[in-house]
A and B are shown apart, each in its own frame.
Chain A
Amino acid sequence: MKKNINQFRILILLAIIGVSIYCIYQFPINLGLDLQGGTRLVFEGQDTDKVKVSDDSMSGVVAVVRGRIDALGVTEPIIQRKGKEQVIVELPGIKDPNRAIGLIGDTAQLEFAEAEWAPGDESTLTPAKIKEFYGPDAYLGHVSEGHGGQEGYERPIIIKKTALTGADLRMAYPQVDEYGNPSVGFEMNAEGAKIFAEVTSRSVGKPIAIILDKKVISAPNVKTPITEGKGIITGNFTPEEVKDFVIKLKAGALPLPIKIVETRIVGPTLGQDSIHRSFIAGVIGLLIIITFMIVYYRLPGFLADIALLIYSVSTLAILCVMHATLTLPGIAGFLLSIGIAVDANVIIFERLKEELRLGKTVKSAIETAFDRAFSAILDSNVTTVIAAVTLFLVGTGTIKGFAVTLAVGIVVSLLTAILITRMMLDMMVDGKVLTSPDTKLLYK
């Protein structure tokens, strides 16, 4: 009967190890930005006259940013709001952060406006005069006349009134213009096409200004009215710019402008260095702890070491299954938790020593030691969890990772240090390995 119990116990231990290793293998852990390399950006919404920073407008920002990032094809991006006005974007593995910044940070407000070439000397055109002659919304702009990347003449143009915006587009796609320059083709939706037809009929012989984020990017002259709502935007683009422009048009404009307040770029080398060195440090630390436990607590110490190894693999497995992101502070937290995990065993074994000195049998000494040590272990671990939870609540990014590994580690260590060590000690008693309190396998 006793033998059967022990076989059953061994089975449980093997099952825990097996399941853990399976999970680690099956759900490879996410490496955080600091380990994998990548870009982290924090944007802050800016109030405008029309739109104020609010819950709604910031949710809109997140939606648009998400759309643009999805088009970029980043694996596992993180896009989340922080506080009232900030958005955190983490892009693992992104090598060209400047492109990402432009792609995400530009408002991408596209406007099609009725316009007219400025007559004669532009220095005589005061804002007041422009408004008087061309309508209350009119203002003076400039458009580059060059083609194919060369610096061109900045031709003055008067923007009269915005007729359509990017929101009226049905689709946008990369194209080349008649000279083979990279350009953006677009199609209006039904409503947009109607307005576009009216505007272009009115503007034959005059330019239509195409404005992106308050900058006139091109102003083609209308030769014939465009009725089918299709067109092309040219303007000194590189193929890459066209691609990003299309992404922005498809995802739509941001409801309000955003400003970068934090950027963090991590190259891939740094993370590999960190992982490698932390791994070595962890193994060395673990070996010293294991040796210490065996030398000081003998057989129970050895059992605690087995529990510690089970602790290490199962904690790692839980982090994998939780889809947690492993950061450098997270690794530090995990290693620390290994040092903390044996604490419960130390508390129990010291107690066991006392109970044995009182002349109890091994079996009852083990029982009392676990019973008596439990309240101390519980209370002391709850306080550490309190600190970890506080850390999780206020921390961001990598610090959250530290808090998560610390908290998971503590909870798992309670289980392994108490249940698994207990089970193995009972195994030793039932298997007649630990019989007399005076055996050399125990330390009194």
Chain B
Amino acid sequence: MNIIRKYKLWFLFSGTLIVLSLVTLVFNGMVRGKVMNFGIDFTGGTILNLRFTQPTNVGQVRGILDEYKLGEASIQKSGDNDFLIRLEPIEPEVRQKIVDEAGTKLGGVELLEADTIGPVIGSELRSQAIWAIILANGLILLYLSFRFEFIYALAGVLALIHDATITTGFMAFLYRNIDVTFVAGILTILGYSITDTVVIFDRIREDLRKPGAGKKPFADLVNQSIFSTLARSINTVLTVIIMVLSLLIFGGENTRDLCILLLIGFSFGCYSSIFIASPIVVLFSGRK
């Protein structure tokens, strides 16, 4: 099989996913009012994580909150008697009152976690996140240009943008909560997905130095490099995915969103190294 010569097929597949990702973002923006389910890290607001002693339902919790007229509150059951409550930013005294009242009326409560972030911090974080992702891409582009050639670096970074876009699209589609760990996750995906690409590029670099390399069509040479590193590409990602899956299944609620993000990102990162970055190098090189 020649992966490189079938590039149109992969580009069509990826192009479709990218378009679907963008459509999901637009759809969310129009129908749900937010392109992604941004958490309080980005929008500002309050999260209360409460553990009740007695069996409690969402209605009872809502009953307590309604008295405070705090606008739209989202209440989500996150464990046996654990609840995650999302609210507008509130004063510490109000929070204390809510917790105290929930404790007396519903028979005992433990405050697991409370988080209040002002809207200004939220918007600061948004711009920092965007800068971080641009900066990381820029630095990777520089490093790869220095170690390989510019077209390799460009192909690698384009594949990264592909991974980040599709992963973001998936998270928008699943409408998972997006907080500051999303940024950490996307950056980890960028840093890690490029490793597979580098392994293949390194092999292309080596194969090009071999005697007689010039006689072979470049596309076939790249294809051969891909296949001789295939077990590598799969196994390296596999070991990491084992860990992510283990954390996803056995780890706590708090790392769940991060794991889902990484699972999607690492998988597409592995795919894009082979099916996107390598064909782009061949196309950009102008060689046949």
A346 near B232 (CB under 8 angstroms)?
yes
Q: Which residues of A contact B158 (CB under 8 A)?
A: none
CB distance from B43 to the nearest CB of A (A): 13
CB distance from A176 to the nearest CB of B (A): 28
A386 near B114 (CB under 8 angstroms)?
no
B188 near A263 (CB under 8 angstroms)?
no
B132 near A288 (CB under 8 angstroms)?
no
Q: Which residues of A contact B232 (CB under 8 A)?
A: 346-347, 350
- Identify the stretch in B19-27, B64-72, B137-145, B211-219 within 8 Å (CB) of chain A at 4 or more residues: B137-145
A262 near B202 (CB under 8 angstroms)?
no
Residue of A nearest to B46 (CB): A263
A285 near B113 (CB under 8 angstroms)?
no
For the complex, what is the distance from the CA of A332 to the CA of B259, rounded to whole Å? 9
For the complex, what is the distance from the CA of A285 to the CA of B243, rounded to whole Å? 5
Main secondary structure of the interface of A (DSSP, over half): helix
Known: A42-B121, A380-B195. A336 touches B239 (CB 8 A): no
| B92 partner, pick from A101, A273, A346, A406, beta carbons under 8 A | A101
CB distance from A376 to the nearest CB of B (A): 4
Is B88 among interface residues, defined by CB-CB distance under 8 A?
A: no
Is B222 among interface residues, defined by CB-CB distance under 8 A?
A: no
Known: A98-B92, A332-B247, A390-B136. A376 touches B198 (CB 8 A): yes
B239 near A342 (CB under 8 angstroms)?
yes
- Identify the stretch in B7-15, B177-185, B278-286 within 8 Å (CB) of chain A at 4 or more residues: B177-185
| A393 partner, pick from B115, B132, B231, B243, beta carbons under 8 A | B132
B250 near A336 (CB under 8 angstroms)?
no
Contact with A along B232-261 (1 / 0, CB 8 A): 100110111111111101111011001100
A391 near B199 (CB under 8 angstroms)?
no
A382 near B143 (CB under 8 angstroms)?
yes
A383 near B121 (CB under 8 angstroms)?
no
Q: Which residues of B contact A329 (CB under 8 A)?
A: 181, 184, 255, 258
Q: Which residues of A contact B228 (CB under 8 A)?
A: 354
- Identify the stretch in A143-151, A274-282, A418-426 within 8 Å (CB) of chain B at 4 or more residues: A274-282
A262 near B184 (CB under 8 angstroms)?
no
CB distance from B71 to the nearest CB of A (A): 19
Is A292 among interface residues, defined by CB-CB distance under 8 A?
A: yes
A-B pair count, CB < 8 Å, reads: 217
B143 near A296 (CB under 8 angstroms)?
no
Q: Which residues of B contact A282 (CB under 8 A)?
A: 243, 246-247
Q: Which residues of B contact A406 (CB under 8 A)?
A: 188
CB distance from B225 to the nearest CB of A (A): 11
For the complex, what is the distance from the CA of A228 to the CA of B176, rounded to whole Å? 67
CB distance from A318 to the nearest CB of B (A): 20
For the complex, what is the distance from the CA of A339 to the CA of B143, rounded to whole Å? 24
Known: A336-B243, A380-B199, A399-B180. A98 touches B144 (CB 8 A): no
Q: Which residues of A contact B121 (CB under 8 A)?
A: 42, 261-262
Contact with B along A63-96 (1 / 0, CB 8 A): 0000000000000000000010000000000000
For the complex, what is the distance from the CA of A402 to the CA of B183, rounded to whole Å? 11
For the complex, what is the distance from the CA of A402 to the CA of B5, rounded to whole Å? 40
Known: A262-B117, A278-B247, A336-B188. A386 touches B143 (CB 8 A): yes
Is A269 among interface residues, defined by CB-CB distance under 8 A?
A: yes
B112 near A266 (CB under 8 angstroms)?
yes
Is B267 among interface residues, defined by CB-CB distance under 8 A?
A: no
Is A384 among interface residues, defined by CB-CB distance under 8 A?
A: yes
B112 near A267 (CB under 8 angstroms)?
yes
| A262 partner, pick from B118, B187, B245, B259, beta carbons under 8 A | B118
B242 near A339 (CB under 8 angstroms)?
yes
14 pairs of residues in contact across A and B, judged by CB atoms under 8 Å: A97-B114, A265-B115, A274-B254, A277-B252, A282-B243, A284-B246, A329-B184, A332-B255, A336-B243, A339-B239, A339-B243, A382-B143, A388-B188, A396-B180
Extra inter-chain contacts (18) besides given A343-B195, A383-B198, CB under 8 Å = A263-B114, A278-B247, A282-B243, A285-B243, A289-B242, A292-B242, A329-B184, A332-B259, A379-B144, A383-B191, A383-B195, A384-B192, A387-B190, A390-B132, A390-B136, A391-B184, A394-B131, A394-B132
Enumerate the 9 nearest inter-chain pairs by beta-carbon distance, A residue then B residue, closest first.
Answer: A387-B191, A285-B246, A380-B195, A339-B243, A339-B240, A376-B202, A261-B118, A281-B250, A384-B191
Mark A residues whose CB is within 8 Å of B. Answer: 34, 42, 44, 83, 97-98, 101, 260-267, 269-270, 273-274, 277-278, 280-282, 284-286, 288-289, 292-293, 296, 328-329, 332-333, 335-336, 338-340, 342-343, 346-347, 350, 354, 372, 375-376, 379-388, 390-391, 393-396, 398-399, 402-403, 406
